[in-house]
Amino acid sequence: MIKILNKKFKPRIKARIRKNRQTLSKNIDSFFDWVKGAELVELKECNIEEDPVRPELDNVFRRSYGRKIYGVKYGGEIHAVMCFAYTNQIPRNVDELDKLSHDAYLQSAQRDQNIGQIAIAYTVWSKKKGGGKLIVKEVFKKIKKSNHLNRLVTLSPLTDMATKFHSRNGAKLLQINETTQNFEYKVF
């Protein structure tokens, strides 16, 4: 009796495994299609209400004194966003970020127009799976190509989510501050 049942169910199990492999293969293919077709773009503004890290910072803050907003665009939609400030020192909080990026901006106006030597990523979020990792990778490439930036450092919240995200993406913890933590991605 067991042999008969085994014979009936074996083809069903094999068919189910085959179907699951095909479904998984399609999902992986569609995931990589969007990743391959995505491009890094500079944004004039972002929807600050979507920002889970620093929604209190308006678009004026995010775009003044040489600060930038980048997005990963695919199919006419933005799927991930990262905001930067350029400084010559590592900030421990948003107030220091504001002052240090302002100083670097003013110093560059008197010299070579290259703002700061350190890119400080102070917020990142993704609307699509894989978007956060992709934007880190694309921004990393952009920084490597620049002629004046030599470091990529974060100003991250003190959360397990931020720690795991940056650690999984290859960043090293630099310091833990009162309300933030700094991670550094190796540029060279």
pTM of the shown model: 0.77
Decide if 85 contacts 108 (C-beta within 8 A): no
Distance (Å, whole) CA 96 – CA 56: 16
What pLDDT is recorded for position 187?
Answer: 74
Residue 30 has pLDDT above 70, yes or no: no
What pLDDT is recorded for position 28?
Answer: 47
> Which residues, 6+ apart, have CB-to-CB distance to 75 below 8 Å?
34, 37
What pLDDT is recorded for position 115?
Answer: 76
- Report, as an integer, the average pLDDT of 70-96: 94
pLDDT band at 29 (very low <50, low <70, confident <90, very high): very low
First and final CA of the chain: distance in angstroms? 67
Return the CATH number of the domain spanning residue range 40-185: 3.40.630.150
| pLDDT tens digits along 126-153 | 988 888 888 888 887 888 887 778 889 9
Residue 32 has pLDDT above 70, yes or no: no
What pLDDT is recorded for position 141?
Answer: 85
Distance (Å, whole) CA 41 – CA 150: 21
| pLDDT tens digits along 94-129 | 999 999 999 999 888 766 666 788 999 999 999 888
HSE (CB half, 13 Å, CA atoms) of 110? Answer: 4
What pLDDT is recorded for position 87?
Answer: 94
Percentage of residues in the chain with pLDDT exceeding 90?
52
- For 70-139, give the DSSP string: EEEEETTEEEEEEEEEEESS--SSHHHHHHHHHHHHHHHHHTTS---SEEEEEEEEESSTTHHHHHHHHH
Q: Which helix (H) or strand (E) segment is 2 a member of?
A: helix 2-37
What pLDDT is recorded for position 138?
Answer: 87
